[in-house]
A and B are shown apart, each in its own frame.
Chain A
Amino acid sequence: MSKIPIFRGRTAAEQASIDQASKSYEISEEQFGGQLEGDHEVQNSSIGTMLPTSESGDGLVMQPPSMDSTGLVSRSDFVDIGGGLADEQGFASEKPIPLWRQMLGVYFENKLAVVSTGVLIFIVLFCYLGPLIYHTNQTIYSTNIQINQPPSANHLLGTDSSGFDVLGRIMFGGEYSLAVGGLAGLVAIVLGTIYGMTSGFFGGFVDGIMMRIVDALLSIPLLFLLITIVTIFQPSAVVLICVIGFTLWFGNARIIRGDALVIRDLEYSQASTSMGATKWHIIRQHVFPNSISNIVTVGTFAIADAILFLATLGFLGRGIPVPGTDWGTMMALGQQFILNKWWWEIWPVCIVFVVTVVCINYIGDALRDVFEVRLRQR
């Protein structure tokens, strides 16, 4: 990589000296009163909306250095045109809170998100560690006497039509559902990011072609496409991960492409270009770090969607094949007995599944708010 001076946040010592400098500056501003205000209007209008790079270890400063000719930090470091945080608190009165701490604060303010996170962690532990505590047979089909039993002390949620313990079955199916759904969501977001970034960054003709392809893919009814592809490749855990991943990225690509298109035209990207940065460098240093927020948010929703689509496929008879199972397949089996009022075969797994998807969606919502912290500063 060519050596290009890139601002990576400040060390604590640097920050302290800057604070010191700015305090003295503040006093001088009081003395001069409104006279300086006019000056700064000009400076303000010239700054770009710089976003922090993500790699600094010791706390990030929100704004880029726009040193004036004296080498001091000008007021435009802290004040933006819209009048954000710094404007109300006065001029750089205290050390800025590190970005990640602000984000964490916003996340924990959202009670729903905290509860959702807790519930999701519980469900994951329930699925992966539960079988260690609650031992059940999930491999051998049982005899007639054990099938469709209502809940009892031996089987806390009864047994299903193959004689499997339903509670243990939910754990067993959950292992597949969560793992396959999570990995498929990951595939979707990685593909979407690569495609969207390429399209948005290069723009113009390439972008036109690539986005028309996404438009075309988006007008295909996704479920029909998914079933067709799964049938053609024959379902297995790996095939399902790939197929769901490969059919869910279109929407993600569009969102990330929008980000990339904006960021590559921002002032700091242009500045990098003017200093001789390569395209790869700009993607890595500016476009990618600054679209992380959308990538994470969209990725969370992609995981929820992937779990949902896996369950839908399972429900339609194309889920994880035996001897495995997933929540959708369990629901399809339980559906046969819904008019027998054998509630334990259908509703518990429905509830666990819906709660999981809703929790992930809430977490996605909260993450979107968290990343809005960045926008609040503007």
Chain B
Amino acid sequence: MFAYLVRRLLAAIFVVLFIIWFTFTLQYLQKPYGVNTPAYNFCPTKPVYTCVHPYIVKLGLSQGYFIRLYQYIEGLVVHLNLGYSYKLNQPVYSELKLLIPRTFWLAAVSLTLAIIIALPLGIYQAWKRNSAFDYTATGVVFILYSVPAFVLALVLLDAFSFHSPIPYHFAASPPYGVNAWAMFTNPLAFFLPILTLAAATVAGLSRFMRSSVLDVLVQDYVRTAKAKGCSSRRVLFRHTMRNAFGPIITIIGLYLPVLLGGALIVEDVFNYLGIGQATVVASNNDDSYMLLAITIIGTVMVVIGNLAADLGLAIVNPRVRIEGSAR
């Protein structure tokens, strides 16, 4: 198990270093002045050499590629310095420090909710496969799955504003609050963003849950368990579910990038303050350095999530724990 975790950790470090290199190189491709663009930001009315050059020297932009890459990595890894937003004229971290936990909580609560819904749904569908319930659920999930997250958000926004099923205008109070705990003190305001993200996630996950359980249900050991007279509850919970959890954890790990993308759209539609909305604002401001930092943060979040999934996999699957062979 130790060797397995070390290998996954090395892979994770490789991913993070790769994305750091990638974002760093993107700095050189910026429009319109390449890596010198931040220096030109200081001379908006007079983009000439005499104005720009002092800033290029001051910001260290004239140094070589590898020296700057080294400094960039050192700054990120050692000092956790995410860079400087030249458009907002302040460090990226001071902008994002309140937003990161908010996005994290949005994603985490929605994912938890989605798992709570999708897991029993998938198991029940597989258990009663080809029944009317199975077909209905598959149909509903397919519709949810085909509708992109932002259309789903718009439909729910419309459905829960004027046409709200309960006498409450869900879109009237935006999901603000000093920090993420507002989610728990004022749940009605956060209802729509969480519902949208959870619905999109259920659509993404429950098909895999169903097929993962189905794969286990046809195994020999399930038949043996039935043959030796186990109750169906015991077969389901003892023999099927424990074995189905492995693939499900892997799939949830793989789903994390999509989840963050969904969070971005949901934050944009529902005006939820988070790194997704910050991304959209930064994009419309042409704030490249903010975007590069956010890309790194998003990747690190996904990588940490994947590591957690690997750990979970090792816990539920003895084969991984002992041999360290499963991917």
Identify the A interface with B (CB < 8 A): 212-213, 215-225, 227-234, 308, 311-312, 315-318, 331, 335, 338-339, 341, 346, 350, 353-354, 357-358, 361
Q: Are B261 and A228 in contact (CB under 8 A)?
A: no
Q: Are A219 and B303 in contact (CB under 8 A)?
A: yes
Residues of B within 8 A of A357 (CB): 146, 148
17 A-B pairs within 8 Å (CB atoms) are namely: A213-B18, A215-B15, A217-B18, A220-B257, A220-B298, A224-B294, A224-B295, A227-B291, A228-B23, A228-B26, A231-B286, A232-B29, A232-B31, A318-B284, A338-B154, A353-B151, A354-B147
Interface secondary structure of A, over-half rule: helix
**Number of chain B interface residues as a range:** 35 or more
Tell me how far the C-beta of A96 lies from the nearest C-beta in chain B, rounded to whole angstroms.
33
Interface secondary structure of B, over-half rule: helix
Chain B 1-26 against A: per-residue CB contact (8 Å), 1 yes, 0 no?
Answer: 00000000001001100110001001
Given A231-B283, A232-B31, A223 and B261 contact (CB-CB distance below 8 Å): yes
Q: Which of A219, A316, A318, A335 has the most CB of B within 10 A?
A: A219
Residues of A within 8 A of B284 (CB): 317-318
Residues of B within 8 A of A315 (CB): 150, 265, 268
Residues of A within 8 A of B268 (CB): 315-316
Q: Are A221 and B26 in contact (CB under 8 A)?
A: no
Tell me how far the C-beta of A304 lies from the nearest C-beta in chain B, rounded to whole angstroms.
10
CA distance A91 to B154 in the complex (A): 60
Q: Are B158 and A338 in contact (CB under 8 A)?
A: yes
Q: Which of A315, A341, A350 has the most CB of B within 10 A?
A: A315
Q: Are B298 and A221 in contact (CB under 8 A)?
A: yes
Q: Which of A224, A311, A350 has the most CB of B within 10 A?
A: A224
CA distance A224 to B296 in the complex (A): 9
- Asked whether any CB of chain A lies closer than 8 Å to the CB of B180, the reply is no
Minimal Cβ-Cβ distance residue in B for A235? B283
Minimal Cβ-Cβ distance residue in A for B257? A221
Given A221-B257, A361-B146, A216 and B15 contact (CB-CB distance below 8 Å): yes
Tell me how far the C-beta of B189 lies from the nearest C-beta in chain A, rounded to whole angstroms.
16
Contact residue among B15, B171, B264, B295 (Cβ-Cβ distance under 8 Å from A339): B171
CA distance A354 to B162 in the complex (A): 23
Q: Are B261 and A222 in contact (CB under 8 A)?
A: yes
Tell me how far the C-beta of A20 lies from the nearest C-beta in chain B, rounded to whole angstroms.
45
Name B261-286 residues within 8 Å CB distance of A.
261, 264-265, 268-269, 279-280, 282-284, 286
- Asked whether any CB of chain A lies closer than 8 Å to the CB of B240, the reply is no
Given A215-B11, A221-B302, A231 and B291 contact (CB-CB distance below 8 Å): yes
Q: Are A224 and B280 in contact (CB under 8 A)?
A: no
Minimal Cβ-Cβ distance residue in A for B292? A228
Q: Are A224 and B260 in contact (CB under 8 A)?
A: yes
- Asked whether any CB of chain A lies closer than 8 Å to the CB of B288, the reply is yes
Contact residue among A221, A316, A339 (Cβ-Cβ distance under 8 Å from B161): A339
Minimal Cβ-Cβ distance residue in B for A225? B295
Q: Are B151 and A350 in contact (CB under 8 A)?
A: yes
Q: Are B257 and A222 in contact (CB under 8 A)?
A: yes
Contact residue among A220, A228, A311, A341 (Cβ-Cβ distance under 8 Å from B291): A228
Tell me how far the C-beta of A240 lies from the nearest C-beta in chain B, rounded to whole angstroms.
14
- Asked whether any CB of chain A lies closer than 8 Å to the CB of B157, the reply is yes
The 7 closest A-B pairs by CB, nearest first: A223-B261, A228-B291, A221-B260, A216-B18, A221-B298, A221-B257, A216-B15
CA distance A317 to B283 in the complex (A): 8
CA distance A357 to B147 in the complex (A): 9
Tell me how far the C-beta of A150 lies from the nearest C-beta in chain B, rounded to whole angstroms.
17
- Asked whether any CB of chain A lies closer than 8 Å to the CB of B224, the reply is no
Residues of A within 8 A of B269 (CB): 335
CA distance A232 to B161 in the complex (A): 37
CA distance A212 to B260 in the complex (A): 22
Tell me how far the C-beta of B19 lies from the nearest C-beta in chain A, rounded to whole angstroms.
6
Minimal Cβ-Cβ distance residue in A for B286? A231
Given A219-B303, A229-B26, A317-B283, A311 and B148 contact (CB-CB distance below 8 Å): yes
CA distance A232 to B287 in the complex (A): 9
CA distance A343 to B18 in the complex (A): 45
